[in-house]
Structure 1
């Protein structure tokens, strides 16, 4: 059992809600500001649980919902400790309020992780408050009372009362100073499967997204942008566009042109009629240029390594064998189902913002700085998002909406076309990774050198395994300056570096005659027994998921015509290990199944967790097989799904997932299952064909697939 101490300063409650009942606000609730103060009113509470006289419980959801399921999972945590009937829980989305909240973020797989302890405390304190109200009413010891599904019982006397019946009395009671949290073994809601809270509205079309935002007098807007990265607008002729039906205005801003009108179709058609002249400085690069320049950049080491353990020169000098390989990482767009969009209304010296954004506070601060609005005059309401994957961490589309609204002197909803969304950045960075490893006469890994370059600040994750397990290890990385805009893409950097690192580990294993799984376990044992430098991961938990995934797939057993590939990774404080099983079916390679073991601590919503893990693996698999955006003189070659290949439903293989059972507080889950799958597939392909795939997308490797043109993956 755990204890949580509360006091009047950080636990506010009122009884006079609009419909009666108890309103509980917690300044210490996850994402809530600890120092806020003020009268305990409906408008000024930092976050709240509202218990009505009808027994319905309303919980605010401060974090943006991007499909990761936090609008369902976080209230499950409160409901568990509050001990209520889940069917009586109502959830409301909170607007941005930095006076009340501090972590209104959808990113980094951190929502449940950061909210776990305070949301439990919120529910447990509310439960104890209601128990105390019942005990006071019945003149009994609170310790003699129990709760179950929103009812307080005193078994000795046979008395019982619903939370709704006790709500108003509870509002008059002193706040409990010490509350007990449940033993995880007694959980009834956490760890079960609950339907996504918004699911019915989503499947019936009632769910509103940012793209659905409408206001009186609102105009739709689409933006004409430079066709190539690095170009600037010289002039444009909008005469034809202005004559088209539904067009109300055309404005220029920030090297772009906005077309405004009464419908998306009309403004998008008018945008095609604009004749724009663009110029560049003659240095726009194509994909092949990046590859050549990356090689030149890697010709010398940077001034300071990202990590340096031991001495790699000494390690390589004493090597019995040296293994080297290079891996290429292409640009990839985010391809959210809902394209970028945002509503803005500049008025009264401020702006109303409404739409899909993963970082609402960043959006507000960016708009305040760029347009010189006082922060208190900017309101931001987040909508449920039709995908994000890191793209909606950016604010470019919000800045567009504000600029256009300001120029047009009207509320606007800027909506991107699919072509804009795919070719307008921000992409997963293109990068080149080179690895060099040394093993001694006993086939022990004694040196590891990672050297990379990419269109981003740091292409490495310098503390990744096998860091901590190798005596001589160095990580070097360079940033390559480019006008191409890049940004976080689901499991930033991990999404590709897990493929390169885990594939290279496989190469080391095969070159030394070791089993790939056994090599990883040996390195983890070394990191535990004789750690070198900083070790970010728990070697035992890491080893456990590796063993479990191998066991699930029957690793080490010989099955005719079946080939296995292994991959594992630690990211966002969670561990994932996967095995891809390939089969030779009539001369064609086909994925039979993907096996996955994950340790993310306590799983809050089992259904949501399974969906996240399955989706992450299919996403990673599809982009490894098909995902690539190329450039010709700075201009993207792929603009829509006729030229950019995504994995298809018939190509999604069966997936078997095992969540390691423990009582460790939850860690990240939205992203950790994606990184290892590309390595597992690549290593399985090597097992089947004897050929290494060191660049993505895999479908380009004709030497592997030319004889299997109908291969399904």
Structure 2
């Protein structure tokens, strides 16, 4: 359900009989929730940015501000509130809030940050509502509040055997003043948090309810499809749209920036008309091919002018005095995001404002772009968020929103832009291609005394993470990078940068461990223990948390003890969480096959175990599939793959079993949407190395000579 204002939330709550309304600020975790009147919420007079309501029918409703892209935030948020409230989960629902950046602090989905940001705020809201309901019951029964307890949506006074459902107490509770401080539950007393709870949208998704942007319809709206240049580096020169305009159902053909839009009454009609456009382009920048990228990478690794991101000790002396030096290079290709739901967006540009509706991970960016295009102030632009059929970072961009706004402005009508699958795959904003060169210096004892990493990326900015392990664990260290500007547009892809960097770093550490004559797991443990005893520079990761997942993964996988099973190890810290994985390869009909991945995860308290398991499993499948098969190549600036017949993704029979184990350390949640993906590639590659004796240094593995004969 999408709502456009606090007034709509009030109306929805009023339908359930009104009751208790609680306002709280997402912006200030330390601020106390307070009771507010429904009338003030409806009239916009309450200075709060989210609301919890308890209706007289026992229903509990909460506004969820963050976009839902499948990470389960729309379930996790109310689950946290319900836990502290001791609610009956079957009575809890959530309403998707619209953009309101004067009220919300972080109305974004990205970086696995929604639950960590909102954890304390949500708990306080639920605990405050519980306090008020207990107070209302105690007052009615004329007993001390300390004698009352709560469970599954009711207040109990066990001494007298009395109980009342929350709905019967909601109005009385609304007359009380909320406390400045409230006691939160001890995590050991959680009843809902940590259990498996079904996604709140499951029924609507399964029954085909129109929840996604591509489902959105409004009577009178037009449909638009955009013809973009066929290659990156081309500029629009001329357009002959005479034939297209004569096609059935076509309203107009308009141009803007470097694009041509066909606008009509149905998707099929505009698609067919777009096919008869006669467009001429001219060269505006270099038309790069994948062969050019290989040459550029190799040249810049040697001759580029690097930017130093971290330097410790005397790196030159460490390598000059080393007993052994290990060097390796790793490379990855561009990747499309390919969410199940292609890009789409609705815009209605009017003289007095702009209405935006659709799937976006960054609604404020959408509004900002609309304001730039139209000149209409941001406070006259509304943004409603639909559920998203996948994002993975692609919907952090606003190019498809800009298209909808431009077209609506030009044709002076409400318009929904719809991309085809081919548009989506060739339309840019890819995971950037990167190449890394690693060097390690070992002394006679097999200790790593020197470490160098140089990254070269296409529009990647800094393609390294200079403060991640093994930084802090090596006395002499140098991490730098070179960026190559390219006309091929790039952007965040699930677990930005670390999605490939983790594979390269962890695969290389296995090479170093082998050269040192040490077990890969023990090698990492030694590095971490050395960093704990004597850190080299600042350590910006939690050594104990990383050690814990390493040991848990080794224990659960029976590391090194299984006969006929070739195991590969990997561990990584990203987005505040720690994940260690063990890939397991076995021989099937004489060929090595990936059969299992064991994951040990420290993401703090697991809010929804069911959703969390799926996040980890999905991350492992995503990481495995793209490491083994994903590849987007270019010829003269044009993508050579435009659909799933050419852009290979993992198939059902290729998915390994994924065995997940969570660390129970009781700390606040630290994020889970992305951290399970980065370590997967190395766990898989290192396992295949154990099985074949051949290193996999380039993705996708399927194109590697060492991969021949592997299933």
TM range (shorter): over 0.9
Aligned partner of 1:557 among 558, 561, 564: 561
Cα displacement string for residues 429-470 of structure 1 (whole angstroms, at most 9, x for unaligned residues): 111100111011111000101111101111001111000100
Q: For 1:559 and 1:258, how far apart are their aligned partners in 2?
A: 61
User: What's the counterpart of residue 218 of structure 1?
Assistant: 221
Aligned partner of 2:181 among 178, 187, 190: 178
Comparing 365-374 and 39-48, the one that deviates more: 39-48
Aligned partner of 1:278 among 281, 298, 318: 281
Aligned partner of 1:596 among 599, 609, 626: 599
SS at structure 1 position matched to 2:270? helix
User: What's the counterpart of residue 40 of structure 1?
Assistant: 40
Contact 1:598 1:659 (8 Å CA) reproduced: yes
Whether 1:25 aligns to 2:23 is yes
Q: For 1:231 and 1:571, how far apart are their aligned partners in 2?
A: 37
Comparing 398-407 and 451-460, the one that deviates more: 451-460
Contact 2:33 2:125 (8 Å CA) reproduced: no
State the shift of 1:40 in Å.
Answer: 3.4
Q: For 2:464 and 2:690, how far apart are their aligned partners in 1?
A: 27
State the shift of 1:142 in Å.
Answer: 1.1
Aligned partner of 1:697 among 696, 700, 704: 700
User: What's the counterpart of residue 314 of structure 2?
Assistant: 311
User: What's the counterpart of residue 385 of structure 2?
Assistant: 382
State the shift of 1:99 in Å.
Answer: 2.1
User: What's the counterpart of residue 52 of structure 2?
Assistant: 49
1:220-259 superposed matches below 5 A: 220-259=223-262
State the shift of 1:532 in Å.
Answer: 1.2
Q: For 1:524 and 1:40, how far apart are their aligned partners in 2?
A: 55
User: What's the counterpart of residue 459 of structure 1?
Assistant: 463
State the shift of 1:281 in Å.
Answer: 4.3
Whether 1:424 aligns to 2:427 is yes
User: What's the counterpart of residue 144 of structure 1?
Assistant: 147
State the shift of 1:550 in Å.
Answer: 1.5
User: What's the counterpart of residue 3 of structure 2?
Assistant: none
Cα displacement string for residues 200-251 of structure 1 (whole angstroms, at most 9, x for unaligned residues): 1111111421011111210110000000101101112111211212211111
Whether 1:330 aligns to 2:333 is yes
Q: For 2:42 and 2:239, how far apart are their aligned partners in 1?
A: 52
SS at structure 1 position matched to 2:441? strand
State the shift of 1:702 in Å.
Answer: 3.1
Whether 1:627 aligns to 2:630 is yes
Contact 1:336 1:387 (8 Å CA) reproduced: yes
Sort the Cα spacing of 1:130 and 1:566 in 2 relative to 1 into closer, same or farther, 3 A.
Answer: same
SS at structure 2 position matched to 1:565? strand
Contact 2:500 2:678 (8 Å CA) reproduced: yes
State the shift of 1:340 in Å.
Answer: 0.3
Aligned partner of 1:262 among 249, 262, 265: 265
Comparing 295-304 and 448-457, the one that deviates more: 295-304
Q: For 2:43 and 2:194, how far apart are their aligned partners in 1?
A: 34
Whether 1:134 aligns to 2:132 is no
Q: For 1:690 and 1:409, how far apart are their aligned partners in 2?
A: 64
Normalised by the length of structure 2, the TM-score is 0.95
Contact 2:222 2:414 (8 Å CA) reproduced: yes
SS at structure 1 position matched to 2:182? strand
Whether 1:533 aligns to 2:531 is no
1:155-170 superposed matches below 5 A: 155-170=158-173
State the shift of 1:31 in Å.
Answer: 9.1
Q: For 1:592 and 1:645, how far apart are their aligned partners in 2?
A: 20
Contact 2:88 2:153 (8 Å CA) reproduced: yes
Aligned partner of 2:472 among 436, 448, 468: 468
Q: For 2:596 and 2:707, how far apart are their aligned partners in 1?
A: 20
Sort the Cα spacing of 1:282 and 1:532 in 2 relative to 1 into closer, same or farther, 3 A.
Answer: closer
Q: For 1:459 and 1:338, how far apart are their aligned partners in 2?
A: 28
Contact 1:33 1:99 (8 Å CA) reproduced: no
Whether 1:399 aligns to 2:402 is yes
Contact 1:322 1:439 (8 Å CA) reproduced: yes
State the shift of 1:156 in Å.
Answer: 2.0
Q: For 1:230 and 1:301, how far apart are their aligned partners in 2?
A: 23
SS at structure 2 position matched to 1:240? helix
Gaps of 5+ in 1: 1-12
SS at structure 1 position matched to 2:624? helix
1:270-669 superposed matches below 5 A: 270-281=273-284, 283-300=286-303, 302=305, 304-455=307-458, 456-560=460-564, 562-669=565-672
Comparing 358-367 and 36-45, the one that deviates more: 36-45
Q: For 1:272 and 1:511, how far apart are their aligned partners in 2?
A: 58
Q: For 1:253 and 1:332, how far apart are their aligned partners in 2?
A: 27
Sort the Cα spacing of 1:511 and 1:642 in 2 relative to 1 into closer, same or farther, 3 A.
Answer: same
Contact 2:605 2:664 (8 Å CA) reproduced: yes
User: What RMSD, in angstroms, separates the aligned Cα atoms of the two structures?
Assistant: 2.0
Number of residue pairs matched by the alignment: 694
Q: For 2:61 and 2:427, how far apart are their aligned partners in 1?
A: 40
Sort the Cα spacing of 1:652 and 1:303 in 2 relative to 1 into closer, same or farther, 3 A.
Answer: closer
SS at structure 2 position matched to 1:305? strand
Q: For 1:177 and 1:73, how far apart are their aligned partners in 2?
A: 25
Contact 1:250 1:258 (8 Å CA) reproduced: yes
Q: For 2:340 and 2:286, how far apart are their aligned partners in 1?
A: 33
Cα displacement string for residues 116-153 of structure 1 (whole angstroms, at most 9, x for unaligned residues): 11100110011001111111222221111111111111
Contact 1:32 1:100 (8 Å CA) reproduced: no
Sort the Cα spacing of 1:558 and 1:185 in 2 relative to 1 into closer, same or farther, 3 A.
Answer: closer
Contact 1:328 1:696 (8 Å CA) reproduced: yes
Contact 1:33 1:100 (8 Å CA) reproduced: no
Q: For 1:357 and 1:184, how far apart are their aligned partners in 2?
A: 34
SS at structure 2 position matched to 1:623? helix
User: What's the counterpart of residue 112 of structure 2?
Assistant: 109
Q: For 2:622 and 2:41, how far apart are their aligned partners in 1?
A: 45
Gaps of 5+ in 2: 1-9
Q: For 2:390 and 2:328, how far apart are their aligned partners in 1?
A: 35
Contact 1:218 1:410 (8 Å CA) reproduced: yes
Whether 1:94 aligns to 2:125 is no
Sort the Cα spacing of 1:33 and 1:362 in 2 relative to 1 into closer, same or farther, 3 A.
Answer: farther
Aligned partner of 2:198 among 195, 216, 235: 195
Comparing 652-661 and 367-376, the one that deviates more: 367-376
Q: For 1:487 and 1:593, how far apart are their aligned partners in 2?
A: 31
State the shift of 1:95 in Å.
Answer: 0.4
User: What's the counterpart of residue 3 of structure 1?
Assistant: none
Cα displacement string for residues 324-366 of structure 1 (whole angstroms, at most 9, x for unaligned residues): 0011111000000000000000013321000000011121122
Contact 1:356 1:382 (8 Å CA) reproduced: yes
Sort the Cα spacing of 1:52 and 1:598 in 2 relative to 1 into closer, same or farther, 3 A.
Answer: same
Contact 2:26 2:105 (8 Å CA) reproduced: no
